Amino acid sequence: MTKQYDPITIEIIQSSLQAAADEMFAALRHTAMSAIIYEVLDMGTGITDKNGELASSGAGIPGFVGVLDKTVKWVIEKFKKLGDIEPRDIFITNDPYNGGVTHLNDIVLVMPVFVDDEIVAWTANIAHWNDVGGMVPGSMSTNATEIFQEGLILAGIKIFSRGKPIQSVFDILTANCRMPDFLTGDLWAGVASVRVGEHRILEITNKYGKDVFLHAVEEYMNYGEQVSLRALKRVPKGKYSLVEEQDKGPAYKVAIEIRDDEFIIDLCGSPDQDKGPFNMSRDEAVTACQMAFKGVTSPDKVVNGGTFRPLKVLTRPGSVFDPIYPAAQGIYYEITIRLYDLIVRCLAQHMPDRLPAGSFASVCGTLFGGTHPDTDRQYAVIEPELGGWGGSSHSDGNSGQFSAAHGETYNCPAEVAEARYGVTVDYLSFHDDEGGAGLHRGGKGVRIDYRIKSDNAWLTVAYTRSRIPPWPLEGGCQGSLNYVLIIRASGPIERYSVVSGLMLNKDDIIRVMTGTGAGWGNPMQRNLELVKEDLKNGFITEEQANRYYGLEKRASNA
Amino acid sequence: MLRVATDIGGTFTDLVYITAGGKVGTAKSHTTTGQFEKGVMDVIKASHITPKEFISFIHGTTIVINTIIEMKGAKVALLTTEGFRDILEIGRGNRPDFFNLEYPKPKPFVPRYLRREVPERISFKGIESKPLDLSDLPAILDDFCAEGVEAIAISFINSYANSAHEEAALSKVKELWPEVSVVASYQITREWREYERTNTAVLSAYVQPIAHRYLDRLNNCLSEAGMRCTPYIMQSNCGVDTLKSARQIPITMIESGPASGVWGAAALGRLIGELNAIALDIGGTTAKCGLITNGEVKLNSNYMVAHNETSAGYPVMVSVVDLVEIGNGGGSIAWVDEFQRLHVGPQSAGAVPGPVSYGAGGMETTTTDANLVLGRINPNYFCGGTQIADMAAVYKELDKLAAILSSSQREVARGIIRIANNSMVNAIKLISVNRGHDPRDFTLIAFGGGGGMHACALAKELGIKKVVIPSLSAVFSAWGMLLSDLRRDYLQTQIVELSGAEAAAQINQALILLEEHAIQEFASENIERSQILFLRYGRCRYQNQEHFVEIALPDGAITSGQINAIIERFHTKYEREYTYRLEASAELVCYHLVALIEVDKLKPEKHPRTGRKLIAAINGKREVDYVEAGIHQATIYNGDVLEPGMSFIGPAIIEESGTTVVIPPGLPCQVDDFGNYCIQTA
């Protein structure tokens, strides 16, 4: 006879699992030292079941929702000998070839939760560390050709044994990093977070019992699967494919098949791996596909291992989406957003009423650093940039929004940046680059001017969509490009989209320009009142109002 | 001789008065949206008192938050620094609903054509790097006037470090256009973060004309009715301020109701020796909880309007009591999703049509309905006997849910209570555990219409040892106002590395400036220096970290020798909140000066003991479902007859006109000297 479980108890446990992941998130954010964690929220937390299937996620960004389960599964596999894993152990990895999924800057901590000598769950978190060594400050170099150049590799090792820190691992970490204070602070923040999760789970198992807990987690996965299957029913079935030209290098290719109960993404036709760091691990390719799958099917917050059961991802070893060791992967995030955008674009052409036109679709990762002019201390800025999103069947795109890979990510206020880094922010507003006209227009991209205040500063950027602009739908116009202008104090202006360690001196200006999203629908059909409003608001010029929207002609015909 | 407090809520306007002899009266009237002052006058009339007798009058109102949420404010224009026109529209770029490809970003309260730039620049050190050029201002104001602008906000970059340019622009606007309502960001806050400060100035301008008109009308109504005392307005920082001052910067009223509830709990805690308490206010639509440590309420200045899972909301940078609010109250609707899972809230049946039991056409089962079905609320004494609970309708609707869930009516009703309790438990964890406190070290002070109904179950779940349901719990927020002092919070961002004599000198200089500013402000309102009590705090952090802890700074001039003690205080508090301490150096990032002026506030008096026997308070017995503690024959007590010294043991129910207290089996309850119900839960 199967045991009967009270459905309300099961639901309460499930909502407590979500609360626990959120609490882990709050603990990590609260205690981290680096702005990239607490402000940009380049971090995530999660709880998995005993087998490493995601049970709940406290991620601040969608790109980190599907990462932690893959790490836990990997740790379980590596430490499978009895006694390898003990209560209050904590494991650390950052190696995409060994369960680290993303790139060496992202540190994952995982902790088993034991009840009566049995693992009932895992808690885990991921956070971007400012620097993990490697060939350049900030560790990510667009020139890296092997992963060894991208920093210290932690290939899934124990860092806490039975609750006690393993000092030699700490010593190796701090000795291999340019900013050891930050590393230590961020590491302890991660430790506090996995421990909070462990504590919460033990409270649940103490109150309701181990069996009820395990059943609740299993049921939760089934529920996640049900939500996905139900949502899948509403998506048009069929086979779709797209070949997309890239800013540089060969075209990417995706084939998607949507069935009643399956969503298959085939990336096998994609190009060989990049010689530089523009690669992503297979695990990360799956994560990007999960993000797109979730956005296309049911964007609500229920997300766990069950959610992604209908999704199948096919990759080809040796390709950009599944590179062979020791290929560099430092700029993986730009490939994530490319792949995500590729999938959405492939489907949007066939379901333009469900999906919006293309956005600026780049993380626009901007790294610069140097010496604070007042304190002589080194500073390093690592931030994604805001840009414009595409119009959709029923509204204009958002202006000044982080990419789809982000969520509760906050930009750095100009006032904070000035005090913290000693740079001057001369400008932070929308720009007037042309693009995005449509029945529903694209949202505006952003221009930021950073004036450098001391000599010997450096800049690293890796933007995509800097040659091929955001894609329109239903007769709209394409968006504008992402790029950086360097306005030298001596006068010359240089344009970049990918550059590493570019030297800058006092009063040089870094001008970040992010894309305006693409338009949806024929601009000639845009409501004239809205066109006049755009003109009044300075979102378009009079000349553009006439050229794209036929303002004068349509007004006189009316 | 009456002390009077009125609190406008979404559904009811509450009033509490206390006579010179200590006699307490309460009344409720319907809130009169659009003419809130009418509801105030109505509730005064309903209390059978007259403003001629008032020796103090304190008022809390939701007009500010409602004006913003309903988008019914003034047409606002913004003057900002050249190069930063779109700060208000860009916001911080975050997207809480992060899988949503068509996330609707909150629209700015000022459209782009009304955001105009002024050439000027102050550096982060407060030094002018580009002079203010107001030569275009007359033309800009002409445009604003032609567009029908009613209020102007001014917010310049780095004005937190030096407000000279904002001040100059402000006085020029006033000179050129004396009739327009105008506010500059420095008048509200001196904290950094340009979007938050700009949005705060904009929202303040947005509500200013409406708040002015309302406060003026209220003042006139009260004066015409013969009131002689100075009216005070409840603020979000748990203090009151004069109507005249509240009129200047009305945005500080944004959370006045919840603030007075938490403040009331803190004041009550100090009175009865419960210095560490969790305040829980369960109303019709939401439940709010706040943390009280050592008798003090924590304030934040990162308040958000309408920030939730699907919206980034709007920041307001004023001192607001630190609250966690969830969509779970008596009117919260129970519903079943397409996967046969039961949920409660956040949608609420509100006052109209209200719960099914109101019999006013409500078709969706609410928490209140579930409490009725389980015998926890008396259907024959519903809403204090003013209404008859429509139980036939309640069972009919509950049956629909039971059918979908293949369950019984009782199990569904129990499920509703358990799910509601669970979300409140999680909310209490957010305010306690997530801020580094163990709820078991706290007493739960629960109030609002639903506080007494759920408190004991929540306490048991959290391991809290004691629950206090205050006397007058249904109008507790209004009562809390009577215990508040006049309070203003001054915040000033400045980064000071905490080491040695230089730090001490910098801190002293900054505090003196802040205090002088406050003293001058009060002097212009005829309040003398000797009446002001200053509390000085510093927000400190590890160098380059973002998150701070706020610690008290020593009184008087700070010596370099005291800096180490300040640092140690920081380490200790930091470790408590964040679980570890670092070897890194510490810095102060923001001063927080609190100015308190004692007003003639209420001193609660003990309730008399008449020697009445407990049996006089017993209204019989009935079957009550305590959900997790089972079904029991509970003794029913009439709360209006209970008096200090009485005690009994659950299963029991206390019924009062505005609230019901549910006491599970085995728990002892005692009525204390002030008429509060104190229940031992562990």
Structure tokens at A147: 């992963």
Residue A2, pLDDT above cutoff 60: no
- Start-to-end CA distance of chain A, whole Å, equals 75
Tens digits of per-residue pLDDT, B458-498?
A: 999 999 999 999 999 988 999 999 999 999 999 999 999 99
| Number of domains, chain A | 2
| Phi, psi angles (nearest 5°) of residue B550 | -100, 125
Residue B257, pLDDT above cutoff 70: yes
The Cα–Cα gap between B319 and B594 comes to: 10
Where do we find the tokens 């938490």? B262
- CB distance B97–A299 less than 8 Å? yes
Tens digits of per-residue pLDDT, B367-397?
A: 999 999 999 999 988 877 778 899 999 999 9
Partner residue opposite B94 with nearest CB, options A16, A188, A410:
A410
User: Taking CA atoms, what residue in B is nearest to A448?
Assistant: B83
- Domain with A203, as residue range(s), is 7-226
- What residues of chain A lie within 8 A of the CB of B430, using their CB? 23, 26
Could you tell me how many CB contacts below 8 A there are between chain A and chain B?
Answer: 194
For position A487, what pLDDT does the model report? 98
Residue A240 inside a domain? The answer is no
Residue A531 inside a domain? The answer is no
Tens digits of per-residue pLDDT, B565-619?
A: 999 999 998 887 776 777 788 999 999 999 999 887 888 889 999 999 999 999 9
The Cα–Cα gap between A314 and A291 comes to: 16
Burial of A472-505, coded b for 16+ CB within 10 Å and e otherwise, reads bbbebbbbbbbbbebbeeeeeeeebbbbbebebe
Residue A222 sits in the same domain as residue A362: no
Burial of A258-285, coded b for 16+ CB within 10 Å and e otherwise, reads beeeebbbbbeebbebbebbbbbbbbbb
Residue A450 inside a domain? The answer is yes
Orientation angle between helical segments A282-297 and A210-233, nearest 10 degrees: 70
Residue A542 inside a domain? The answer is no
- CB distance B87–A8 less than 8 Å? no
Residue B56, pLDDT above cutoff 70: yes
Q: In this complex, is the C-beta atom of B408 within 8 Å of any C-beta atom belonging to chain A?
A: no
CATH topology of domain B257-328+427-481: Nucleotidyltransferase; domain 5 (3.30.420)
**Global pTM exceeds 0.90:** yes
Residue B131, pLDDT above cutoff 80: yes
For residue B346, say if its preceding peptide bond is cis, omega within 30 degrees of 0. Answer: yes
Mean pLDDT, rounded, for A479-483 = 98
Q: What percent of chain A has pLDDT over 90?
A: 83
- CB distance A398–B419 less than 8 Å? no
Band (A38; pLDDT cuts 50, 70, 90): confident
Looking at domain B69-211, its CATH architecture is: 3-Layer(aba) Sandwich (3.40)
Q: In this complex, is the C-beta atom of B337 within 8 Å of any C-beta atom belonging to chain A?
A: no
Partner residue opposite B105 with nearest CB, options A401, A419, A449:
A401
For position A1, what pLDDT does the model report? 38
Mean pLDDT of chain B: 93
Residue A326 inside a domain? The answer is no
Partner residue opposite A408 with nearest CB, options B94, B102, B111:
B94
Q: What is the DSSP string of B524-543?
A: TTT--GGGEEEEEEEEEEET
Tens digits of per-residue pLDDT, B298-354?
A: 898 889 998 888 899 999 999 999 999 888 899 999 999 888 899 998 898 877 788
- What residues of chain B lie within 8 A of the CB of A12, using their CB? 418-419, 422
Residue A320 inside a domain? The answer is no
Q: What percent of chain B has pLDDT over 70?
A: 100
Which A residues 318-357 touch B at CB under 8 Å? 344, 355-356
Q: DSSP alpha helices (H): ranges in A261-328?
A: 282-297
Structure tokens at B47: 């209390």
Residue B506, pLDDT above cutoff 50: yes
Mean pLDDT, rounded, for A70-86 = 94
Nearest CA to CA, how far is B610 from chain A (Å)?
Answer: 45
| Phi, psi angles (nearest 5°) of residue A385 | -120, 160
For position B579, what pLDDT does the model report? 67
- CB distance B98–A62 less than 8 Å? yes
Where do we find the tokens 């019709």? B284
Which A residues 415-454 touch B at CB under 8 Å? 415-416, 418-420, 424-430, 444, 446, 449
Residue A470 inside a domain? The answer is yes
The Cα–Cα gap between B181 and B179 comes to: 7
Band (A3; pLDDT cuts 50, 70, 90): low
Q: In this complex, is the C-beta atom of A295 within 8 Å of any C-beta atom belonging to chain B?
A: yes
Residue A65 inside a domain? The answer is yes
For position B236, what pLDDT does the model report? 95
Q: What is the DSSP string of A22-71?
A: HHHHHHHHHH---HHHHTT--EEEEEEETTS-EEEE--SSGGGTTTHHHH
Q: What ranges do the domains of chain B cover?
A: 1-49, 69-211, 257-328+427-481, 332-419, 486-597, 614-671
Burial of B517-533, coded b for 16+ CB within 10 Å and e otherwise, reads ebbeebeeeebeeeebe
The residues that bridge with B467 in the sheet, in sequence order, are B444, B679
